[in-house]
Amino acid sequence: MRYKLVDPEPFRLGEFKQKIDETHGIHPDDRYLKPGRIPHIWCPGCGLGIVLSAFIKGMDSMEVAIDNCAVVSGIGCTGRVAGYLNMDTYHTTHGRAIPFATGLKLAKPEMEVVVFSGDGDLFAIGGNHLIHAARRNMDLTVICVNNFNYGMTGGQAGPTTHIAAKTVTTPYGNCEYPFNLTHLAYASGAVYVARWTSFHARYLIESVKKCFAKKGFKFIEVLTPCPTGYGRPNRLGSGLDQMKVYRDNSEIRNDINPMEAESGLNGPIIVGEFVDREKPTFFERYTEGVLAKASAG
């Protein structure tokens, strides 16, 4: 066989560096953001920017060393978070951020490993990995941005879509029951479980800080508006309108049993720190229960 191939345009390092010089270093959070990656791809009114900012603020106030922290994402709008953070970041396959992070954490136990992903990624295609990582008490922080639909692919229904809600794949209204993510994380063994909305940025920062200070499987759910994918078909208005709903309908109930923590489309939204308990992590048990015996034997 002979080949006839095209000459692709080369990578222009100069142009890339020029873009960094022009755009990077202006914003106070820039030391946490990858040079040359902003502006981001998220829609106006999306809550992801707030969650990203809260994560940066939490990391900053806990003085977590940037080179001691890795962020792993799956696929979707939230999956893009990894690409904006200026640390070791891994954008993996759909649903598989948690097992990738598991391998990374076990190879580098001294590093903080954070999984940032969406509700569809973590609870539909990746649901099995989430419950098993929680069961093992793998030392990971999982931040789940829940916008109740598949935003990146155009607003399809998912495992968190409310009953009767309209999406492009539930044109007559959704007939499936949604997961209560906090209840599932708790029942699977998570040692820390919190739910906030993008309206509760300051509470969210405090939760992020707690996760950096705590060992084990930590889970934060953040409800966010998706005016493009979910807001429009359900007549929820703009991102700002959704923030008003979060303000008016949310009720902080720390220590409530997550089973009772509702988050309806129009009803009350229960937020707070639901679970904070202690349990040895996988690696602690592996070190004491397996490595110690194997090296003694």
The Cα diameter of the chain in Å comes to 69
Taking the C-alpha atoms of residue 172 and residue 175, their distance in angstroms, rounded to an integer, is: 9
Shortest Cβ distance from residue 10 to another protein (Å)? 8
CB of 36 to another protein, least distance (A): 7
Three-state DSSP state, 250: strand
Residue whose CB is less far from another protein, 199 or 217: 217
In angstroms, the CA 231 to CA 198 distance is: 15
Helix or strand holding residue 208 (H, E): helix 201-213
Judge if the upstream peptide bond of residue 159 is cis by omega within 30 degrees of 0: no
Q: How far is the CB of 156 from another protein (least distance, A)?
A: 20
CB under 8 Å to 244, separation ≥6 — which residues? none
Binding interface with another protein (CB under 8 A): 5-6, 8-11, 13, 16, 34, 36-37, 66-68, 70, 72, 82-83, 86-93, 96, 98-108, 110-111, 128-129, 132, 286, 290-291, 293-295, 297
CB of 256 to another protein, least distance (A): 29
Residue with Cβ nearer another protein (66 or 163): 66
Shortest reach from residue 37's CB to another protein, in Å:
7
DSSP 255: T
